[in-house]
Structure 1
């Protein structure tokens, strides 16, 4: 699904008209319309504000991917995906179990330069499992926030505050 389609879906779910949304992010209504028709990209300088206004996790994931591309997770929206909260919970548990098993299966005690070809291939599998777990967890947070009317933004504000208090971030 193209970013504009994600935007339209999130905007409508938030009960915002194109005009309301455009006013909130300081762009024209026609610019919003062109983005939603996938005829124009959302200007990068307003994507952050648009994520703040939408306060929707799936939109935030789509916005990050729009800017970063394949270095960020995709929004899962294919025909084989079930984003019902129970399905997302079950899939997240499954992915977490798989990644923990994978992490335990690889030894990182040796220096990377001395890693065997087999261990290097095994490490690639572990990284893939970890990435799948990240995708599952972010979708879990997004879906639960959406379903239970929790603020996606507020979750991350709390996390930033906790990490700052613990000295993990400056």
Structure 2
């Protein structure tokens, strides 16, 4: 789903004019964001994430800006029930754990064979599978238990700063 489609869906019965007034932009800007004629600016993205508290909107925005973050899983074979998502996380943790135990990273990258390089790449891809599963798990939990998505990330940031893993801005 694109940012525009996500925004249109979240906006619901709120008119483009009403939303534009809340965001301090023109109605035409809202229309341009929804149709993809204009890219959503970062400051407006933050306001929309805060306003709608929708994890999947946040994921869509991150993916559209970077091209490298997970998108909402919305295909015909996806079950986003909290139990199904939890089970998928457990499955991905097990698969990644088994691969971590099997693949060696002790040799320098320039000293490994093509086969070892393929194993390391598989390790990276399996890690991404877990990241996608976990991201959806947190999104589903946020929606179903009404956690504030941004607040969860803010708490995580505070914890990482307190542990000295991230410098304060």
Normalised by the size of structure 1, how large is the TM-score? 0.88
Once the 2 structures are TM-superposed, how far is the Cα of residue 35 of structure 1 from its aligned partner? 2.4
**Post-superposition shift, 1:36?**
2.5
1:65 equivalent in alignment to 2:63: yes
Listed as ranges, the matches of 1:1-170 within 5 Å are 1-12=1-12, 17-69=15-67, 71-170=68-167
Contact 1:51 1:63 in 2 (8 A): no
Judge which range, 84-93 or 138-147, deviates more: 84-93
1:39 deviates by 4.3
TM-score if structure 2 supplies the norm length? Answer: 0.88
Structural RMSD (CA)? 1.9
When residues 75 and 120 of structure 1 are mapped into structure 2, their CA distance, relative to the original with a 3 A threshold, is: same
Deviates more, 1:33-42 or 1:108-117: 33-42
User: In the TM superposition, what whole-angstrom CA distance separates every residue of 1:42-93 from its partner, at most 9, and x where no partner exists?
Assistant: 2344222222222211110001111111x22122111211112121111111
2: CA distance, partners of 1:4 / 1:121:
37
Number of positions where the alignment pairs a residue of Structure 1 with one of Structure 2? 167
| Cα distance in 2, alignment partners of residues 26 and 163 from structure 1 | 33
The alpha-carbon deviation at position 105 of structure 1 amounts to: 1.5
Shift of 1:21: 3.2
Q: Secondary structure at the match of 1:107?
A: coil
Q: Is the 8 A contact 1:22 1:28 kept in 2?
A: yes
Specify whether residues 27 and 2 from structure 1 end up closer, same or farther in structure 2 by C-alpha distance, changes over 3 A only. Answer: same
Unaligned runs of 5+ in 1: none
Unaligned runs of 5+ in 2: none
